[in-house]
Amino acid sequence: AAGIAPTTDMNPVLLKPQSDRGAQVIIQGRSIGTLDAAGYHEYKRIARRAVLDSYHRLASGYELIVVEGAGSAAEINLRANDIANMGFAEAVDCPVVLIADIDRGGVFAQLVGTLALLSESERARVTGFVINRFRGDRALLDPGLEWLETHSGKPVFGVLAHLENLHLDAEDSISRSPGEHAAQTALLRVLVPVTPRISNHTDFDPLRQHPQIDFRYSSDPHDVTGTDLVILPGSKSVRADLAWLREHGVGRAAGTASARTAA
């Protein structure tokens, strides 16, 4: 969108989950191994240096840098060694805009609660708010916005409408909802088994959006019946996911369906 070639400095710390408790840690494009949650929490002291190095390289070449936080701005249980949210903002002395998702509900509680959990210096960095994914009559929202500005002393910079056809990659989880196109009109039925350590699932997004494909994710072997094509996804632990497929009967169901189709 910005017309700029991406570099590893734009995502200096990348986590690729490999199990329920561990993830591959990639620092500035190079893997340093797999760490569990506690191990990574300790490693963040080292990762912080890489994050700041990347920031300063970018700052030397660009007039404006937009930094996206991770999770909540007020992860008080993870405040020590924070490198993604307010800890980073304090380290580089940058202003902060809190963006809240109204589609989930409780948007005012999100914003006021976040401010309450921040330290005094962190609150001072918050310059205002943005309400994201709003549906309906804006006039019904205005009284709440006025209260929020009065209560917090900070402005609401804007309200962004919910966009139905904005196809963005899922960040952390897989959308289990079927593809956008009705099974009755699809020419091809595709199923991808959701394994515990699935990786690169966003590669399937073009299939989910294709007008002639009925695309589904599923962990149920019964859903294989009636499917034209089963695609095994990438995995961060092939052996473990293969065992899972066998244990849950997905491989057996696919073999049975294949034999039936061939007959």
Residue 81 lies in a domain: no
Residue 120 lies in a domain: yes
User: β-pairing, 229-230 with 188-193?
Assistant: parallel
Q: Are residues 98 and 161 in the same domain?
A: yes
Q: Write down the H helix ranges in 67-189.
A: 86-92, 107-117, 120-125, 142-152
Residue 10 lies in a domain: yes
Q: Are residues 146 and 208 in the same domain?
A: no
Q: Are residues 198 and 156 in the same domain?
A: no
Predicted model pTM: 0.78
Residue 37 lies in a domain: yes
- The pLDDT confidence band at residue 170, using thresholds 50, 70 and 90, is low
Domain end position, chosen among 135, 166, 197:
166
pLDDT over threshold 80, residue 180: no
- The pLDDT confidence band at residue 175, using thresholds 50, 70 and 90, is low
For residue 187 the two structure tokens come to: 């020419």
For residues 148-175, give the mean pLDDT: 83
Residue 227 lies in a domain: yes
Q: Which of 41, 37, 39, 21 is nearest to 83 (CA)?
A: 41
Residue 87 lies in a domain: no
pLDDT digits (tens, 9 = 90+) for 202-247: 889 899 888 899 999 998 988 988 889 999 999 988 999 999 999 9
Residue 175 lies in a domain: no
Domain count, the chain: 3
For residues 45-74, give the mean pLDDT: 94
161 near 134, Cβ under 8 Å?
Answer: yes
Amino acid, res. 31: S
231 near 192, Cβ under 8 Å?
Answer: yes
- Specify the pLDDT at position 242: 92
- Specify the pLDDT at position 54: 97
Residue 78 lies in a domain: no
- The pLDDT confidence band at residue 262, using thresholds 50, 70 and 90, is very low
pLDDT over threshold 90, residue 176: no
Q: Which residues span the domain enclosing 114?
A: 93-166
Q: Are residues 198 and 257 in the same domain?
A: yes
Greater confidence, 22 or 6?
6
